Structure formats: C-alpha cells, structure tokens
Structure 1
Amino acid sequence: MGPLLETFTTELRRGTLTLAVLSQLRTPQYGYSLVQRLERAGVAIEQSTLYPLLRRLEKQELLTSSWDTTESRPRKYYVISEYGSEIYEQLKKEWETMTFELKTLLKGDENDETD
C-alpha cells in the first residue's frame, strides 16, 4: 500500500473507530477486553489508538469510567453514558445512510461504462 492510499485508509478508519468503540460499550469493558472484542469482529485497533480515543470520548461525556480494584491488578472500565447512547444511535443512522448512498454510487461505477 502506497503512502497516499495509507493516508486515505487512515482517514476512513478514524471515523468508523468511534462508532465501533461505542457499539461495544453497552456493557462495561476495560481496554484490553475492548481490543479483543473489536478484533474478534475484524476491527484491528492498536492500544496506542484506543486509549486516547477512550479518554477523548470520556471527556466529551459519551463514556463514563470506573476503577475495579477487586482483582490483583486494578482495571479501568468504560461504559457508554446515556448521552453517549443518544449520540451512538444518531451516528449509527448516519452510518447506515452513508453506507447505502456509497453502495449505490459504487454500484453505479461498476454498471456505468459511459459517462
């Protein structure tokens, strides 16, 4: 993959990662468990990308966090807030609309030999 294509791919993924992360936080997750859930679904995400994203979403009040200190190693759990759920539902609708529109455009690309 060339550098330009890599840049475009990164831009495409950046917006989808927020939606992917929010979709998995209806139940509390800590960072590593979230990485595993996303990877099982085919969404690769580095921890160096995930943790800043989680902090940003928490600062924007889309997530809340709490520490679990019952295990030998304390873990910070994240869960979607009520406000985050509202935003998630709106983003999901937006994503579904955009996906439909793009599929239509791209399908037209395949079928339309002349312009």
Structure 2
Amino acid sequence: MTKARTAQINVDATPYYHCISRCVRRSFLCGYDNEQGKNFEHRRAWIEERLLELAQVFCIDVCAYAIMSNHYHVVLHINTDSGNALAPIDVAERWLTFHQGPVLIQRFIEGGSTVRSRNRTLL
C-alpha cells in the first residue's frame, strides 16, 4: 500500500534518504540491450547531469549515486538550512526553473496581483 510523502519523510528523524527508481518490463535505462540491439549508454550522462541540476535548485545534497542498466540509486540529504533560508519568491522561482507554472504563480513572480489581493479590491 502506498503512503503519502509526509508519512514517509521525517527530517527530524533523519535528513538522509536512499531512493531507487527502476525501469519496468525489462526496459533498459543505460547500457546495451541485447534483445533490442540498441545502446542506451548516452542516457547515463543525461541522468547524472539532470540529477545534479535538480539537487542544486531544490536544496538537496547528493551524497552518492549509482546509475545501473535498469535502475538507479541515490542517497540524498535534505538541506533544511538552505530551504528554510529561502523567501517564498525564491521557492517559486526555483520551482519555475523546471515547470511552466500556473498563471497565478507567474503573476506572483512578476509582482502582479494575486487572487487574494484582487478579491479584497472587489469588496
């Protein structure tokens, strides 16, 4: 049975987490797949680059990682000091680094009105 992340992660207990992501249906993540006759080794560098980029933006320290042919392991440290030092605008800007974001968030970044401030003017 699945659990919500809030039930799985407790930074007070430990800020370190071992995460695993696996491919399904005998798919290859990296390396040479004999059945398909294809080489997926080019993905290894892309995965490493993306992992380190995400970690830098989201206040996560990558302690160790291993990228295998059909899965990868990552040991992460949640950097709460860096995260707590961020202002709400910083959090929104970092999130928008990888996501387009809804119009409300885009307005917040641009310094425009939000739903709450517009509702006050209507009253």
Q: Which has the larger radius of gyration?
A: 2
TM-score over 0.5 for the pair: no
**Bigger fraction of residues in strand:** 2
TM-score (norm 1): 0.27
TM-score (norm 2): 0.26
